[in-house]
Chain A
Amino acid sequence: MCSLVTFPPPPPEGFVTLSEQNAKMVACIKSEVPQSPLMLMNIHQSHDFPDVDISRDAHCPTIIRDSEAKAAFLQHQETPRKRLIAAWYEHGVSGILEELSNCHGTGPNLMKSVASALLATIRWTSSLHSSLFPHLAMSNEELIAEFSTNPHWFGLVRSFAWHPHTTKFAVALRDDSVRVHSARKGDIIPTLRHKLQKGVISLAWKSSSASVLAVGCKSCVLLWDVDPTSLATRPSGSSVQVLSYPGHSPITSLAWCPVSSLLASACPTDSSSMIWDHSLGSYERLRRVGGGGTSLVLWSPDGTKLLSACPSSVLRVWETRSWTCEKWTKLPGRCQAACWSPDSHVLLFATAEEPVVYCLTFDKVHPVDPTKPVVGGSKVAIAVADVAQIAMETEGTPVTVGGLIQAMCWDPFGERLAVSFKGPGSELIAVFQSCLQPSVELIPCGFIRGHPSSVPSLLSFHPNWADGALLTVAWSSGKISYVPMYFVPRHNVNMNSLYQRQSNGPWQSPVLFS
């Protein structure tokens, strides 16, 4: 098992990591950083990447923590009775209970606790959970902040998603608007706003499409059709489709099936996760006893498996042909982050309670009947990396690295794994080299450091970058930066040797026949 002790020391404070070249991190002092880190890339590619910094944006959204309209008005001391009546009109019984449980210092403590207990009971009965889970007593905003992979959900950037095929990404900002930045400079940047688009936590682009973007919000899922040829900066409400189901909110995670038009959504207070069909606008509920809701859904790259993680210590993997599932219980905590290998046979995950990266492997074919779909794999998750917090020394100054894992992401070749942390070591991103054959192995590569006093919020790899892997990091300062990693993927190396070995014999190549 690999641990952080064997890592090369991180760049000292004041340095910024620029790129990685064949497993060597390149960093330079902040004052010498080129105007745009894009300059480091090949000339032909540099103009292809949008340079985004929310904080220096002219339209930097004002700091409104509560995005509801009432925040725009002056605080007026209403009598509790009036507030309760207002809550009743707006949200019904659960609104009253939420209001009662939220009244700080005004009401008696007993009433407050009774109200929050009732609220939990209502949620519990409405979702028919088999046991009581603590997260059901949280308010929607707290739920979102708790289950978001973004530790700075109240910060400038809320969510980020690369388009699976082109150089284009969507960013959700603090004011719940979503912007779509595309490759060329000077292109129009559409800003998506909708009255239901509140508390954006997740963004996902549909595969096999140029324009469909799913936005997971506090109350529903919005499907935007962002026409790439349109000249409108504010796409109209007619290009939105709203998907909602009573009791299925807030939505904390969204995932499109990479091979069909199915969208999976997760909600921690609903015991079932939903599968929506974009083309038909219909849905199906996936429900199994136990677990208490779903906090994270993740489709494997070949679309044959769907991970759904529960807010308790349960993890399920669905096989998407007959939709049976395999369950892993007794995790040390809830699943905080997870990623699939590009061949869909390996799942890496980390829990919220332990600084360890676990690995689950799945069979390639069914051991008995090859026509049947596979779901079972390893019975027990294997720990592949220990990222417990340690103190390192870099140029004489002590640095804390590691800790509980916040987010993980794996590059499309399965060669690099980026891991961000919670707590004191959170300003560094650890990068592992990974290898899937003959068994899953993580090898230390290095640390990435951003501009001083900025902490990584969101990690994402560009889905199809030819020269290796391009890590995109949204920093807490509102800057979105790119860290190119140059390497030759193992797959290509193996293919080259295959060409040589079989050059005399017949060779099946994936090329067009006609």
Chain B
Amino acid sequence: MFLLQVLWWRTAASIGWTVLLSPVFITLTSFIASFDFLRPWTWLSSLLGILSGSVISGLSFHISCMTLLVTFMALLFAPHHSVRLVTPASRLQYILSVINMRRAVLYSTVTTGSALLGWQFASILTNSSLTYHSSELGSAVLNERHLFLVLFAGAVGLAFSTSFFMHNMNVIHFPIVQQAKYFRVRSCLLAMCVNSAMSSLKLLPYFFLAYYLILGQSMKDFTKFMFFCHEDPSSVVLNSIWGILNLSLAYQTWLCGCLTHILLSLPNLLHKVYHSEQFQFPIETNVEMYSNKCLHHALAADQHPHLLYLGHLDLYLLASQQPLRRTLIYNLTQLGGHALNWAQLSKVCLQRLEVLQQMLAAFNQRTIASAPLRQPSGGGNDLIVTDISHSAFMNGSTPGNESKSKPLTLSSKLRNLRFVKFFLDERPELSSRALFVDAQCHIWTVNALSHLASASFREDKYGVMQKSLASILEIMLLLQESLEKHLKLGLGSNGNLSRASSAVGCANTADCQTVHAAVKSALYRIVETFGKHLDSVELSTEQRRKIRMYVEYKE
């Protein structure tokens, strides 16, 4: 129910806009394609003729076919979007994740769909169909130029769908400022078109080469077989040197690829913009229908990551920017005067931070325990790796250990081969990545709590929030300590592969360092507001000492 309300409408709206915008792009591209370098004025006058309506009706069949195809592919892509950036630990897992079954189906469907798109667009461009009737031969003849465009569109579709996962284009990033959707789309459209043009251009030479070497003959044979047609002996074959050196073909092909790429990325862009918009959850409600759709339900919706993220984003925005909704949190219930709203919210938030802190502490502990230790052996320089947690010596380099070590099984032998190791080894920089999968949520939580705390200084009439100030400070200090330790152990660095690229906004990956920075400025925000009053908050001596450092701006 919840999902239906929040997410499905957004998907529907983004697809609706795709349907509206695709014809515009198709028409524009076909106008550009018909541009005549030698006679620009005739082109312009014919353009005006087209706009007056006669040709548009001729195009409308192709355009509606293409729009349908685009919509279908947008629907296919929709369930593959996600808010979490999942980074596979080893190279093998990475390869498997890119070519898994569900995605392979998507790749093939998108490739076919794009080829069909190319087919329609080629019909507009060349004003002919894939086969035509030749009066000389007396039978159907293959239009090779047409086939070339169709194949290139298919290639663009394949390239797009694979890079969609390889470059994490399926990850939805939430913008740092909440601009209106129109402006977000507008600011990304140009970048999207340029990106499409560039990727189409990059693919072009490879495609020409592939067509010349293998693809050309086989696909021609296949098409001839499928459509019962023949080759025109008088025309220049495209998989020959002269066929390839055809500039107008290259231009048309590039344009066709460009349009296909745009039509694939446009729904993607719209989907991301719609799904990263803020959703205002009710904080409290008396309406039965909404009784399980409040903010604290969204904050605890671990099984639906998207909802979880939207909930946290809403919490952060209400804490930092919306004073009227903030007062609802500080309010007491009508009956009994309980601070129910705050209790529910704070419970979820503090628990989330606590879980992260405990996981971090355990991880740090494990790392320290399995760190290589230098044994004070008599003059030997061997580094003995001691794994305390498993209490087993694993180093085989010293001759004494070799006899004691167990005989290696086949699988462990295989594992030690350099080639296999390359694929199976966990990349060290990503070892703690799993802890920070939802780092964005943690950052929002930390910021929201600090904003609520500092706003409570003036707005919290009943002292609802200030009762838990001590626990907020405590968990933040603990978290900060664990994060610092984690960074000092050299575990917090970010793998280059986890950088995500997207047309919307830029790559933002939350990780250990960003959470650390967020916790620090959250603590400073609280300290700034309360200043010396923090002395009267009940904290342990150690934590009091730390808070003092913050008060003196020495952290």
Residues of A within 8 A of B (CB): 128, 163, 165-166, 206-210, 228-229, 259-262, 272, 275, 277-287, 304, 320-324, 370-371, 373, 508, 510-514
**B525 close to chain A: CB less than 8 A:** yes
Residues of chain A within 8 A of B290, CB atoms compared:
none
User: Does A210 contact B524, Cβ atoms closer than 8 Å?
Assistant: yes
**B193 close to chain A: CB less than 8 A:** no
Give the tally of cross-chain contacts (CB within 8 A). 114
User: Does A165 contact B553, Cβ atoms closer than 8 Å?
Assistant: yes
Cross-interface CB contact of B554 among A228, A279, A324, A508, cutoff 8 Å: A228
Provide 24 A-B residue pairs closer than 8 Å at the C-beta atoms, listed in order of the A residue: A206-B521, A210-B554, A210-B555, A259-B320, A260-B320, A261-B521, A275-B176, A277-B176, A279-B518, A280-B440, A280-B508, A281-B508, A282-B173, A283-B505, A283-B506, A286-B179, A304-B321, A320-B177, A322-B179, A323-B178, A512-B536, A513-B460, A514-B469, A514-B536
User: Does B528 contact A508, Cβ atoms closer than 8 Å?
Assistant: no
Residues of chain B within 8 A of A229, CB atoms compared:
554
Q: Which of B177-231 contact A (CB under 8 A)?
A: 177-180, 183, 186-187, 190
**B74 close to chain A: CB less than 8 A:** no
User: Does B553 contact A210, Cβ atoms closer than 8 Å?
Assistant: yes
User: Does B178 contact A321, Cβ atoms closer than 8 Å?
Assistant: yes
The size of the chain B interface, using a CB distance under 8 A, is 52
Max count, chain B CB within 10 A of own CB: residue among A207, A228, A280, A514: A280
Residues of chain B within 8 A of A284, CB atoms compared:
175-177, 179, 505
Known: A208-B522, A370-B324. 16 other contacts (CB 8 A): A163-B553, A165-B553, A208-B528, A209-B520, A210-B524, A261-B518, A261-B521, A272-B187, A278-B517, A279-B443, A279-B521, A280-B510, A321-B317, A321-B322, A373-B321, A514-B469
User: Does B443 contact A511, Cβ atoms closer than 8 Å?
Assistant: no
Residues of chain B within 8 A of A287, CB atoms compared:
183, 186-187
User: Does B463 contact A323, Cβ atoms closer than 8 Å?
Assistant: no
Q: How far is the CA of A370 from the CA of B520 in the complex (A)?
A: 33
Given contacts A321-B321, A512-B533, contact A281 B528 (CB under 8 A): no
Query: Which chain B residue has the least Cβ–Cβ distance from A514?
Result: B466
**B2 close to chain A: CB less than 8 A:** no
Shortest beta-carbon distance from A373 to chain B in Å = 8
Residues of B within 8 A of A (CB): 173, 175-180, 183, 186-187, 190, 317, 320-322, 324-325, 440, 443, 447, 451, 457-458, 460-461, 463, 466-467, 469-470, 505-510, 514, 517-518, 520-522, 524-525, 528, 530, 533, 536-537, 553-555
Residues of chain A within 8 A of B533, CB atoms compared:
511-512
A-B CB proximity, top 6 nearest? A513-B463, A282-B508, A210-B553, A277-B176, A208-B524, A208-B521
Query: Which chain A residue has the least Cβ–Cβ distance from B525?
Result: A208
Cross-interface CB contact of A228 among B177, B506, B553, cutoff 8 Å: B553
Max count, chain A CB within 10 A of own CB: residue among B467, B506, B507, B520: B506
Residues of chain A within 8 A of B510, CB atoms compared:
280
Residues of chain B within 8 A of A512, CB atoms compared:
457, 466, 530, 533, 536
Residues of chain A within 8 A of B461, CB atoms compared:
508
User: Does A322 contact B178, Cβ atoms closer than 8 Å?
Assistant: yes
Q: How far is the CA of A316 from the CA of B349 in the complex (A)?
A: 38
Shortest beta-carbon distance from A175 to chain B in Å = 28
Max count, chain B CB within 10 A of own CB: residue among A210, A321, A373: A210
Residues of chain A within 8 A of B440, CB atoms compared:
280
Given contacts A208-B524, A280-B514, A285-B187, contact A510 B458 (CB under 8 A): yes
Q: How far is the CA of A281 from the CA of B537 in the complex (A)?
A: 34
Max count, chain A CB within 10 A of own CB: residue among B179, B180, B322, B554: B179
Query: Which chain A residue has the least Cβ–Cβ distance from B517?
Result: A279
User: Does A166 contact B553, Cβ atoms closer than 8 Å?
Assistant: yes
User: Does B463 contact A514, Cβ atoms closer than 8 Å?
Assistant: yes
User: Does A209 contact B521, Cβ atoms closer than 8 Å?
Assistant: yes
Shortest beta-carbon distance from A332 to chain B in Å = 30
User: Does A322 contact B514, Cβ atoms closer than 8 Å?
Assistant: no
User: Does A323 contact B506, Cβ atoms closer than 8 Å?
Assistant: no
Shortest beta-carbon distance from B554 to chain A in Å = 5
Q: How far is the CA of A285 from the CA of B522 in the complex (A)?
A: 25
Q: How far is the CA of A321 from the CA of B179 in the complex (A)?
A: 8
Residues of chain B within 8 A of A259, CB atoms compared:
320, 451, 525
